[in-house]
Structures are given as C-alpha cells and as structure tokens.
Amino acid sequence: MKHTPGQTLTMTPAPEAHFTGQVWMERQAEGVLRVTFIPGARTAWHTHPHGQTLIVLSGVGRVQKRGETALTIAAGDVVQIEAGEEHWHGAAPDSLMQHLAINAGETLWLGKVTDGEYGG
C-alpha cells in the first residue's frame, strides 16, 4: 500500500504542444491525472492504445470523437473512450472544468483542435 498525502501533489502547466489555453495537471497515481481547464481550454486530438476514462469533478466541458458532434459533459459525468478513438476534451467556453483522466499506456498526440472544430 502506498499513501500519498494531498499536499505533496504538484499542479503543473500542461504542455502547449498538446493543449490550447491554460490547463494544469496533477498526477494522482500511475495512469491517473487530475486536469483543470480554464474556459475554452482543451486538449489536442489524441488517442490512447488502451482507452481512457474521464470522470468530471467540477464545471462543464466538452468531449468529441472524430466525425461526431461534440458532447457537453458536467460534474458527475463519466466518459468511456475506446482504445484508438481519436478524440479531444476540455472546458466549455464559459466554464472551468476539472476531470480525472484515467488511462494506461502512452498518449498518441495528433493535431490541435481548431477554433472551428471547438465551436462546431
């Protein structure tokens, strides 16, 4: 068993190469990140070889699978992303959003989400 007290966690800025807007990440455990997005901030398009689970902790956000309409997500929602699905996620234009991102393996980063894709 390993116990990590909350005060030892460190919030770090997300890499600009893979995110648009201000985003902060805190590693909670192996394969688990708490991610905070300011309004309008989002990930780039990406995939996960073993899928990903998002648990929305607070605020309102968006998630989109390539080729489908973006969905609105809110505190309490759980999103299951299948292995290999191209997708992005982030905050709504007028709300902060924080979620837990749970995944195993590397993330394959693709191109950034355009303002048109985000607003579409």
Q: Report if residue 58 sits inside a domain.
A: yes
Name the DSSP letter for residue 118. H
Give me the pLDDT at residue 76, please. Answer: 98
Q: Report if residue 12 sits inside a domain.
A: no
Q: Report if residue 112 sits inside a domain.
A: yes
Q: Which residues pair with 34 in a beta bridge?
A: 26, 100
Q: How many domains does the chain have?
A: 1
CA torsion, points 76, 82, 88, 94, in degrees to nearest 10?
-20
CATH number, residue 105: 2.60.120.10
Is pLDDT of 79 > 90? yes
Q: Report if residue 62 sits inside a domain.
A: yes
Q: What is the pLDDT of residues 80-101, one digit of tens each?
A: 999 999 999 999 999 999 999 9
Give me the pLDDT at residue 7, please. Answer: 59
Q: Report if residue 82 sits inside a domain.
A: yes
Name the DSSP letter for residue 14. P
Give the residue-averaged pLDDT of 21-27. Answer: 95
Q: How far apart are CA 25 and CA 51, in angstroms?
A: 19
Query: For residue 89, what are the domain limits?
Result: 25-119
Is pLDDT of 6 > 90? no
Q: Which residue has the higher pLDDT, 25 or 5?
A: 25
* Token pair of 73 as six digits: 């997500």
